[in-house]
């Protein structure tokens, strides 16, 4: 996780989604960071500077003629550890891409040498306009991270791509960039934006838990929250991939922007949906982060099983579910596959030893081995473990945010895919 106490600038563009910047700011202050909000003049028509100052405890103005003695148009940007602009309107994208310095926000961006995250929000036709896309490409070439917008309800009755991602997601992505910056500093390498090294790739990610029905009311399940798989899907999309997320039971506060989500329920449902996609689409990689049940009830009751009645079971017979990862490794030999080994360890084996054994059985290209248990990994914001590769490499991944873990996995997946033509 990114260390607390960083200086974060939140720029606010002049769009109807400007009010959501308040929730982004709150996420950063809750995490212990100092926030300075900088609205554009248009944003001040949507949200008052008094609100931004109350949330941050810092002056908020669009003008470079405020705070002259402190030279704020220079000092704020140069002191920033991270800059986030949400929403980033089409006009603001254009001005940033042109190197404009005609207000406090654009001047601050020119001064900033830290990671910058832009979260666009506009009508679908504006987002898809070739001029806007040219500006997005220019900004990415110059080291800015431009998030993919969400798909959903826009202003009025319209719906489509261009909706501002949820505030939680913007904050999560921003803090992941800050975490990447800290790792780069520790390695004495330059800070970089979110890479676009998966552009042109089609990746399927599975996430969440499966539910194996006992009757119309009850099921066998597990404690998977879906967070790690969702982080992988979100980061893969921001790195340029076309991503389909097969999502089982979860407790995610939002669905990742720029990702096509298909809900699944049981292990058999997941298996059927996945193979149907693999049989009909040119998929480059599958990341099996879902917590798939090993067993399911041999039979499912048509009506609710009730205690004290003839339907009350004395035991529940189980049968094995298919090994989905092993099956797709065998059936699709040219597919790049990433598996997960969620282990608790036992009296005879460590988590890593059990992971190595699973890796040998599955035959996938990469396997993320992580320890799970009560209050460990499942439902938690962090993860840790070992990433095993076919070449015998075992990369230790220290405890970090699940987006940080996702980035480490995608780094190695990108390297594998780089030997293939997209």
Q: pLDDT tens-digit profile of 263-302? A: 999 999 999 999 999 999 999 999 999 999 999 999 999 9
Asked whether the predicted pLDDT for residue 210 surpasses 90, the reply is yes
For residue 340, say whether it is annotated as part of any ligand binding site: yes
Identify whether 196 is part of a domain. no
| Domain end among 157, 187, 217 | 187
358 is in an annotated binding site: yes
Does 233 fall in a domain?
yes
30 is in an annotated binding site: no
The answer to whether 306 is annotated as binding is no
User: DSSP assignment of 291-303, as one string?
Assistant: B--SEEESS--SS
In a domain, 356, yes or no: yes
Q: Do 214 and 152 share a structural domain?
A: no
395 in a domain, yes or no? yes
295 known ligand binder: no
Question: What's the rounded mean pLDDT across residues 392-398?
Answer: 92
Confirm whether 120 is domain-assigned.
Answer: yes
Specify the CATH number for the domain of residue 76.
3.40.50.1950
In this structure, the answer to whether residues 21 and 134 fall within a common structural domain is yes
The yes-or-no verdict on residue 3 having pLDDT over 90 is no
Q: What's the mean pLDDT in 320-335?
A: 96
**Domain stop point among 161, 187, 213:** 187
Q: Please check whether residue 202 is in contact with residue 284, taking contact to mean a CB–CB distance below 8 angstroms.
A: yes
Do 13 and 101 sit in the same domain of this protein?
Answer: yes
Q: Confirm whether residue 47 is marked as ligand binding.
A: no
| Residue 369 placed within a domain | yes
pTM assigned to the model: 0.90
**Do 256 and 164 sit in the same domain of this protein?**
no
Annotated ligand binding at 282? The verdict is no
* pLDDT value at 24 more than 70: yes
pLDDT tens digits for range 156-191: 788 889 999 999 999 999 999 998 888 877 766 666
Task: Say whether both 317 and 340 belong to one domain.
Answer: yes
Residues 6+ apart with CB under 8 A from 266: 210, 211, 212, 213, 293, 296
**Is 222 labeled as catalytic in the residue annotation?**
yes
Count of structural domains, the chain:
2
**Residue partners of 371: CB distance under 8 A and separation at least 6:** 342, 343, 344, 345, 351, 377, 384, 385
pLDDT, tens only, 143-153: 999 999 999 88
Shared domain check, 372 and 272: yes
Question: At 236, which CATH number?
Answer: 3.40.50.10300
pLDDT value of position 181: 86
Between residues 63 and 136, the one the model is more confident about = 136
Q: Are residues 105 and 208 in the same domain?
A: no
- What pLDDT was estimated at residue 1? 61
Position 311 pLDDT exceeds 80: yes
Q: Note the pLDDT of residue 188.
A: 63
Size of the chain in residues: 422
Question: What is the extent of the structural domain holding 19?
Answer: 7-187
Catalytic residue of the set 135, 222, 321, 370 = 222
Across the chain, mean pLDDT equals: 92
Residue 192: pLDDT over 80: no
Confidence at 421, pLDDT banded by 50, 70, 90: low
Domain final residue, candidates 164, 187, 210: 187
**Which phi and psi angles does 84 have, rounded to 5°?**
-125, 130
In a domain, 324, yes or no: yes
Q: 178 and 33, same structural domain?
A: yes
Distance between first and last Cα of the chain: 33
**What would the pLDDT profile of 98-126 be if each residue is shown by its tens digit?**
999 999 999 999 999 999 999 999 999 99
- Residues 89, 14 share a domain: yes
Q: Does some domain include residue 115?
A: yes
């Amino acid at each position: 996780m990114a260390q607390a106490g960083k200086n974060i600038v939140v720029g606010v563009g002049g769009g109807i989604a400007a009010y959501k910047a308040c929730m982004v700011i709150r996420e950063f202050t809750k995490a212990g960071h100092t926030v300075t909000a900088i609205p554009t003049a248009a944003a001040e028509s949507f949200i008052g500077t008094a609100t931004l100052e109350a949330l941050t405890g810092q002056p908020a103005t669009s003008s470079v003629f405020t705070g002259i003695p402190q030279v704020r148009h220079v000092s704020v940007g140069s002191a920033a550890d991270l800059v986030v602009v949400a929403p980033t309107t089409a006009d603001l994208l254009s001005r940033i891409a042109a190197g404009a310095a005609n207000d406090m926000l654009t001047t601050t961006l020119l001064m900033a040498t830290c990671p910058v995250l832009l979260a666009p929000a506009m009508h679908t036709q504006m987002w898809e306009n070739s001029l806007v896309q040219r500006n997005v490409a220019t900004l990415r070439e110059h080291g800015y991270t431009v998030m993919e917008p969400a798909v959903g309800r826009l202003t009025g009755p319209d719906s489509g791509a261009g909706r501002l991602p949820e505030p939680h997601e913007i904050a999560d992505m921003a803090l992941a960039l800050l975490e990447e910056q800290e790792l780069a500093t520790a390695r004495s390498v330059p800070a970089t934006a979110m890479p676009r090294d998966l552009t042109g790739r089609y990746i399927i990610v599975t996430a969440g838990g499966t539910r194996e029905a006992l009757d119309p009311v009850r099921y066998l399940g597990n404690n998977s929250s879906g967070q790690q798989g969702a982080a992988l899907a979100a980061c893969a999309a921001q790195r340029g991939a076309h991503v389909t997320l097969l999502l089982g039971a979860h407790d995610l506060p939002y669905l990742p922007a720029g990702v096509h989500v298909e809900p699944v329920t049981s292990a058999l449902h997941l298996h059927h949906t996945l193979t149907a996609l693999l049989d009909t689409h040119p998929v480059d990689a599958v990341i099996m982060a879902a917590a798939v049940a090993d067993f399911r009830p041999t039979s499912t009751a048509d009506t609710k099983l009730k205690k004290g009645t003839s339907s009350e079971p004395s035991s529940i017979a189980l049968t094995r579910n298919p090994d989905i990862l092993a099956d797709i490794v065998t059936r699709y030999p040219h597919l790049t596959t990433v598996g997960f080994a969620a282990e608790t360890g036992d009296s005879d084996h460590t988590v890593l030893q059990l992971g190595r054994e699973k890796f040998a059985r599955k035959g996938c290209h990469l396997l993320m081995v992580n320890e799970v248990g009560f209050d460990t990994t499942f439902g938690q914001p962090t993860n840790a473990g070992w990433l095993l590769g076919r070449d015998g490499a075992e990369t230790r991944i220290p405890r970090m945010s699940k987006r940080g873990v996702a980035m480490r996995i995608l780094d190695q997946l990108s390297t594998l895919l780089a030997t293939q033509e997209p």
